[in-house]
Structure 1
Amino acid sequence: MQPTFVLVHGAFANSFSFAPLQAELGLLGHRSVAVDLPGHGFQATFTRAYQAPQDPGGLATAPGSIKGVTLADNAAHLIGILERAKRNGPVILLAHSRGGVTATAAANARPDLIDRIVYVSAWCPVDLDVNDYYAQPEMATVDLTALASVLAGNPAELGLLRVNFRTANPEVLAALKAAFFADGTDEQFLTFLNTFQPDENLDVGSSADRAEAATWGRIPKTYIRLADDTSLPLALQDRLIREGDALTPDNPYDVRTLASSHLKWLADPAPAARVLADLATLPGPSAPA
């Protein structure tokens, strides 16, 4: 039976990011569901202050629907979707970037709903909390100043992260492109930037949300490395793979690699779709002894 791919987006993104990939998967004969986590997609807040001409003061203070959303909320929402998808057969759960934290939390709680979990340059914390990885040597090359320069408002006061992706500052735009989409054209980058939403929730989990050997660890897992990713560097991706393999040495990652920045694989999805189609033919989890 053909599996259903359940696709989980990263920070500031939404289900719209996966439209080109879903088209490719459909043309290869595979069904897929792109998830909008709580406060994303049509549940997102696009305040009038975000429209042109922008109102910086209003943008910095307007409330957002994602305030108070937690990792537990994201995981519960995803589990509900996995339960529905599982009624139709095997499920392959794919997560990109920050979406990996939600996928890991869901896998910790309900491994019975997932026949394979796939991380695409995604966070799967094992030894550390997500925020603590940023102080590690593997993240030393990451420059967060561009993102910080378009931060709108005080996250502690807003109760959320808000970024002004509609900036027209050429230096900031160049820095963001270098960080996330260096291998794409300027037009592709700006198009992708306009699919982003300004708000993201603050909760990326704690030690209680790291991968658990007894549950997450029994699911067959794949890590798709993005070789040209400078926002989640290859060194950090490889560290996450090593940590996952050390946690469950009898169930190591199936590792694949794509030549892509953090976002280009979504804008040019045919190579990724071919990898996923191949994963659909791999065996699922063994029955419990």
Structure 2
Amino acid sequence: MSRPDAVTFKQLRALSAVAACGSITHAANELGLTPPAVHTQLRQLEENFEAKLLHRGASGGATLTRQGKVVLSATQSIDATLHACADHVRALNRGMEGLVVLGIVSTGKYFAPGLVAQLQKVYPKIEVQMKVGNRDSVVAWLQNGSIDMAVMGRPPRAPAVVSIPLGPHPHVMIAPPDHPLAGLDLVPPEELIKETFLAREEGSGTRILMVRHLDRLGQGKTYTSVEMGSNETIKQAVIAGLGIALISRHTVTEELHSGRLVELKAEGLPILRQWFLIHRADTELSAAGARVETFISEQHGAFLPS
């Protein structure tokens, strides 16, 4: 009964060397072994396959039998697979291959796909997966380790993170172009606070920023807000005249350029924040993750909408 599980690399290399050199003596010289040692490897290989693998000539030459050629073909396939494996491992070690999961807060989804596309052009064998959610979701993903790094605004207090500033992140108050406050050089706080504000859901960083700004602006006065689940819904609702909204300028770049929306000029606006690239301080990035982090940080915010 053949025993392929007992076959060793030394046995296969001995067969390959004999096939290449034409004799056991020359194969031994090639391998840096003695002829008896090569003979022993070949005998064990034949025992493992229960087949004669070599024709041994009277003059010391050796040629492969049909069975030997089959084993040689398998040996060459194994050798090619191992070399490909080694290349893959080297690429992983250098960070040229791998999977990186990038968390993106909702307001970042307007520029993140372009950033990932740039990454794929430079590092085609690094797979970058985007995971988009509000601030609370991204922080939770950092906590449970389901993302490697994140692009977001203010870094969280927990978990402890390493943060790299990427560029400015302005927030503006938007309104439809025909809104009564749109033509004013400076909207009085008492007039602004009378408006209906369209807001993101609880857990959104933009929602937190809006509440803090309006509480400070209104000095404790109540105001009307309507919750909506996405930036796209808010934009369309503002265009339709249902209210005004504090929102990341990077989410409304096209609408502002086209005139479908306008920025209101008011005290404390725009609110300037920063985008950050962060990862957990207690977790070392993979080689691919470190390469992605370096690429993003070296862009210095060039991928942000203008």
Q: Scaled by the length of structure 1, what TM-score is found?
A: 0.30
Rg larger for: 2
Q: Decide which structure has greater strand share.
A: 2
TM-score of the two chains, using structure 2 as the length reference = 0.28
